[in-house]
Amino acid sequence: MAETSFARHGVAPRVVSPVARPRREPTPVVGGSATGRADLAALVRVGGRRAGQMCTEHVSRFERDKRRPSLLRRVFGAGPLSDGEREAFDAARGERLVGAELDKLSPSWIVLHSLPAPGASGDLDHVVVGPAGLFAITTRYVDGERVFVADDYLLTSGLRTPFAREAIAAARRTAQLAGRTLPPSVSARPVLAIAGARAVRVGVRARAVDVRDAAVVRSWLESQPVVLDAYTVERVGARVAAAFEESSRVDLASDSTSAAASETRFRRLEREIAAARRIRSLWRVVGACAVTAGVWVAFAHLPSWLALHVG
């Protein structure tokens, strides 16, 4: 299994299963050399990053710095974020939902979240390596909409959203991080996971990009044919983590502290947005009741009004 060499070198692995597993006698896998041990140590550090961490930290700054809407606006259901800020919030929600599903994979899989891409504004949402190969998973969040996948774009509420170029670029970047540890016969596969959708309908097969609903992405990964053994899975995962550390400016030493603070602010922001949504829903109900009452009163008094004015 993938965690065996971690025990061999005295470091605790990040286990994607929610249930901690006891240590057992290791078998010789990755880590026989100094380079292998360094890669494994990097995997432990990078494996501690949370799903959507980069987006969560970005959104949490809104919660920290932004002025709250006035009391009157809050009474009518005004949310704490602007439209642009809400897009960033939805991106964070999508990554977190997909990450929660990926973290349920068995320990034979290695899952890395939110790896900032050097020299770029975005990040690799999720890098997953397991018996079925190496996957670069990007995410999209749609709030209760029906999604149709055609060619290289998503169609939601009449709007087209391209996705293929970003997904393929993420796969290329992931393959570069894996380097020569990835067998020539195996390539990094781009995947788009759609979170929050009411339904996902895939039409024409997107250009080399697998599109899946976030709710089934884990079972889909586990259903793929086996192409890597446990030794190679660990070797590829450790190299990806080490290559990320080598090329990234992220300070992993202070990473956990800042991530915890950002998590607290993000959850507070989630509660405020949910409360604003409930208030707007309540006002819609009140408005519908008022219109219904007005129509009923009008029809109730219509005969008398006609008799008075028409004779």
- Closest CA relative to residue 263, chosen from 35, 37, 88, 50: 50
Residue 201 in 3-state DSSP? strand
216 touches 115 (CB < 8 A)? no
Phi, psi of 81 (to 5 degrees): -120, 150
> What does each of the 311 residues of the chain score in pLDDT, given as a tens digit?
444 444 444 444 444 444 343 433 333 445 555 557 888 888 988 888 888 888 877 777 766 556 666 666 666 566 666 767 778 888 888 999 999 999 999 999 999 999 887 655 568 999 999 999 999 999 999 987 889 888 788 888 888 888 888 999 999 999 999 999 999 999 999 999 999 888 888 876 656 799 999 999 999 999 999 999 999 999 999 999 999 888 876 665 555 556 677 777 777 777 777 777 777 778 788 888 888 888 887 777 777 766 777 65
User: Taking the domains of the chain in order of start, what are their residue ranges?
Assistant: 4-280
| β partners of residue 154 | 149, 161
- Taking alpha carbons only, the member of 64, 119, 95 closest to residue 261 is 64
